Each structure stands twice: as C-alpha cells, then as structure tokens.
Amino acid sequence: MKTNFPKDFDIEAAVQAIIDDEPDLVAERDNLIEALNQIKAGIFARTTDISDTAQVRHKAGLSQSQFAKILGISVNTLKSWEQGQRKPSGSAQVLLKLLGKKPELIDEIAHLA
C-alpha cells in the first residue's frame, strides 16, 4: 500500500516529541516506534472502504440528514446504502453517479425538494 509518509521522517524525534507532550507514554516508546515504522513502510492494520454513496455526499459537503432530504429518502435508507447493507435502486444509482460527476447539480435538486 502506498503511503505519503516522508522518506526522511525522523521517527525517533517524532516519538520523543509525543513522549515530551504525554510523559505517560514513555512505557509505549517501542510500540510507538514500531507503529510509525509500519506506517512508513505502508503496512496498515486496517483500511476502510467508503461507499460510492458516501463519497458523493462527502464531495457535496453535506450531512446524512441534508443529503437524504435532498434525495427525498429517509436517513435510515441513506445509512443502509452507505454501509453497504442495501443498494440504491437503478434510478437512484444513476442519480448518484450523475451527482458524483457533477456535484453542482445538488444545489439544483435541493431547490426542487
């Protein structure tokens, strides 16, 4: 996995700065160094996939309730789409793809709602 971690990042200095800020973490020094080395190497414990629906909503800068209202659906329906529990209908999928490509249309749709 690609990481944007700078190659010349001084892990020892970063860990020391963390410990200076939070002295109780001195006992976790080795774990902090190991974690930062893994991140620098592009090794992550977990990654999260964001649904297309959530990406469209985030691109528009809207909350779930705002986006659901504009689309004329319940917040629960939107949440189920974003969490992958349900899929939008064919027409909703087309609308979401269109909004993903042209987010400025959200304002026009909002005036219709």
CA distance linking residue 91 with residue 77, whole number of Å: 15
Q: Is the pLDDT of residue 1 over 60?
A: no
**2 falls in which pLDDT band (50, 70, 90)?**
low
Residues whose CB is less than 8 angstroms from the CB of residue 80 and which lie 6 or more positions away in sequence, other chains included: 86
Confirm whether pTM is higher than 0.95.
no
Domains and CATH numbers, the chain: 1-47 (no CATH), 52-112 (1.10.260.40)
pLDDT of 81 reads: 96
Per residue in 37-92, pLDDT tens?
Answer: 888 888 877 777 889 999 999 999 999 999 999 999 999 999 999 999 999 999 99
